[in-house]
A = this chain, B = another copy of it.
Amino acid sequence: MTISGKQLIGGEWTLGEAGTFLGVNPKSGHQLNPPISIASSRQVDAAVRMAEAASKKFRHSPISVRAALLRHCAEQIMALGDELLDRLSAETGYPKGRAEMERGRTCNQLRMFADYIETGAYLDARIDTALPERQPVPRPDLRHVNQPLGPVVVFGASNFPLAFSVAGGDTASALAAGCPVIVKGHPSHPGTGELVAQAIAKAVSQADLPRGVFSFLMDEGYAVGAQLVQAPAVKAVGFTGSFAGGTALMALANKRPDPIPVFAEMGSSNPVFLLPKALSENAPGIAQGFVGSFTLGSGQFCVKPGLVIAVDGQPLQAFLDAAKKLVEETPAAVMLNERICHSFQQSMTDRARGKGLDIIARGKASSDEEGFHSQVTLFTTSAAHLLENPHLIEETFGPASIIIKCRDREEMMRVARRLPGQLTTTVQGTSDEFGEYAELMDQLTETSGRVVVNGFPTGVEVCHSMVHGGPFPATSDRRFTSVGTNAILRFVRPVCYQNYPAALLPPALRDDNPLGIPRLINGERTAEPLR
Contacts and interface: CB of A to CB of B under 8 A. Distances in A.
Interface of A: 56, 60, 101, 121, 124, 126-128, 136-137, 139-140, 142-144, 147, 149-150, 250, 254, 258-259, 261, 420-421, 431, 434-435, 438, 441-442, 445-446, 448-455, 459, 461, 463-467, 469, 471-473, 476-481, 484, 486, 489-490, 492-501, 503-504, 518, 520, 522-523, 525
Nearest to A441: B504
Given A438-B504, A445-B495, A451-B498, 14 more contacts: A124-B486, A142-B461, A142-B463, A143-B465, A144-B466, A149-B478, A250-B254, A258-B472, A431-B501, A435-B503, A445-B497, A451-B495, A452-B499, A467-B496
Contacts of A471: 258, 493
A496 B459 contact: no
Contacts of A473: 258
Which 5 A-B pairs have CB atoms at the shortest separation, nearest pair first? A467-B496, A144-B465, A142-B465, A450-B496, A258-B472
Contacts of A484: 144
Nearest to A142: B465
A479 B492 contact: yes
A450 B498 contact: yes
Contact of A455 (B259, B441, B498, B525): B498
A465 B259 contact: no
A452 B130 CA distance: 13
Contacts of A459: 137
30 contacts: A56-B442, A121-B525, A124-B486, A128-B463, A128-B466, A140-B455, A142-B463, A144-B464, A144-B465, A144-B467, A250-B254, A258-B471, A258-B473, A259-B472, A261-B477, A261-B479, A434-B503, A435-B501, A438-B504, A445-B497, A448-B495, A449-B494, A449-B496, A450-B497, A451-B496, A453-B499, A467-B495, A469-B494, A479-B492, A480-B494
Contacts of A503: 434-435
A143 B467 CA distance: 9
A318 B420 CA distance: 64
A220 to B, nearest CB: 29
A479 B445 CA distance: 25
A463 to B, nearest CB: 5
Contacts of A431: 501
Contact of A453 (B466, B477, B498): B498
Nearest to A523: B464
A118 B136 CA distance: 28
B128 A465 contact: yes
B496 A466 contact: yes
A450 B500 CA distance: 10
Given A128-B463, A261-B479, A495 B137 contact: no
Contacts of A434: 501, 503-504
Contacts of A493: 469, 471, 478-479
Given A445-B147, A472-B259, A465 B496 contact: yes
Contacts of A254: 250, 254
Nearest to A463: B128
Nearest to A486: B494
Contacts of A60: 442
A128 B496 contact: no
Nearest to A145: B465
B451 A497 contact: yes
A137 to B, nearest CB: 7
A466 B142 contact: yes
Contacts of A143: 465
A126 B496 contact: no
B452 A127 contact: no
A293 to B, nearest CB: 13
A17 B388 CA distance: 35
B136 A101 contact: yes
B435 A504 contact: yes
Contacts of A56: 442
Q: Which has the most chain B C-beta neighbours within 10 Å: A431, A441, A496, A520?
A: A496
Q: Which has the most chain B C-beta neighbours within 10 Å: A445, A469, A525?
A: A445
